[in-house]
Amino acid sequence: MASADDTSSKASDRRHLAVVTPAPKELRDEPSEQPASGGEQQPKFSARELNAWFGAQHVLENITLDIASDEVTAIIGPSGCGKSTFIRCLNRMHELEPDARVSGEVLFDGETIYAPTVDPTLLRRRIGMVFQRANPFPAMSIRDNVLAGRRLTGRLRRGEADEIVETALREAALWSEVDYRLGHSSAGLSGGQQQRLCIARALAMQPEVLLMDEPCAALDPVATARLEDLIHSLKGNYTIVIVTHNMQQAARVSSQTAFFLDGALVEYQETDRLFTSPEDPRTEDYLTGKFG
């Protein structure tokens, strides 16, 4: 359970983002690219004419789509199509790369994230990220790995560490496997356990969103199945955006799927519909293995 101090800190982060200049009205009134649903809930993310470059290389071209709150959205497509760059634009990690730049708009809870008044560090507290290969800190214990982000950002208060560790590890479905060895090095964990430890580290920051960049790419089938079960358990409490090369995985875990090709968004629909009745022939060609 979050402490009152945690709630206050989270509210402070929200207020910091709330001071940004609202997006121009014409951007807000643009027709939604979100798959049709029964409700009118505001999207968690809205990308509008989003472009991204690495130097002269144009890697994302005019991406416009909405991502629903508290659901799982999959991004699929062949290697080099811009999938990972897209999700890195959602928490401004793209700009950390040399010669990287963006244009267009990304709204998070209706507010633009690229305004000069937005602190990227505070933004990334609300939008966590899990990478393709597990990256725990090998010199740290399992416990200290979970707490690393809280300590780095000065958000760890006396007496709350044990609760944070247990809560995060339980959410990441790892507690029962490591509760007796929290002081041991994370290097002794299996690959799947290390990836779930990284998810626990992200969850300890109390984010609203988890971005997952091919989190199962280096895992065996058993570890992959456990991670997919974890994703199912987290949806509803978190907005999850997952990049995957595994089309079967996208079909299993997501509510909506976006198909990217050559830096462009080709099709975005409810997952079942996209896989059974794609509207664009390029989507069907990709799904049936004609390329990619």
pLDDT digits (tens, 9 = 90+) for 3-25: 444 444 444 444 344 333 333 33
Residue with tokens 């293995």: 289
Residue 187 tokens read as 């290097």
Q: Tell me the mean pLDDT in the region 54-72.
A: 96
Residue with tokens 């990709």: 286
Predicted confidence band at 247 (pLDDT cuts at 50, 70, 90)?
Answer: very high
Least confident of 7-16, 33-42, 98-107, 226-235: 7-16
**CA–CA separation, 214 and 241 (whole Å):** 10
Q: Is the dihedral of CA 261, 265, 269, 271 positive or negative?
A: positive
Residue 193 tokens read as 């356990």
Better-scored residue on pLDDT, 25 or 257: 257
Q: What's the confidence (pLDDT) of residue 35? A: 52
**CA–CA separation, 237 and 90 (whole Å):** 19
Q: What's the confidence (pLDDT) of residue 154? A: 82
Residue with tokens 């390029």: 282
52 with 95: CB under 8 angstroms? Answer: no
In this model, does residue 29 exceed pLDDT 70? no
**CA–CA separation, 67 and 185 (whole Å):** 37
**CA–CA separation, 67 and 75 (whole Å):** 11
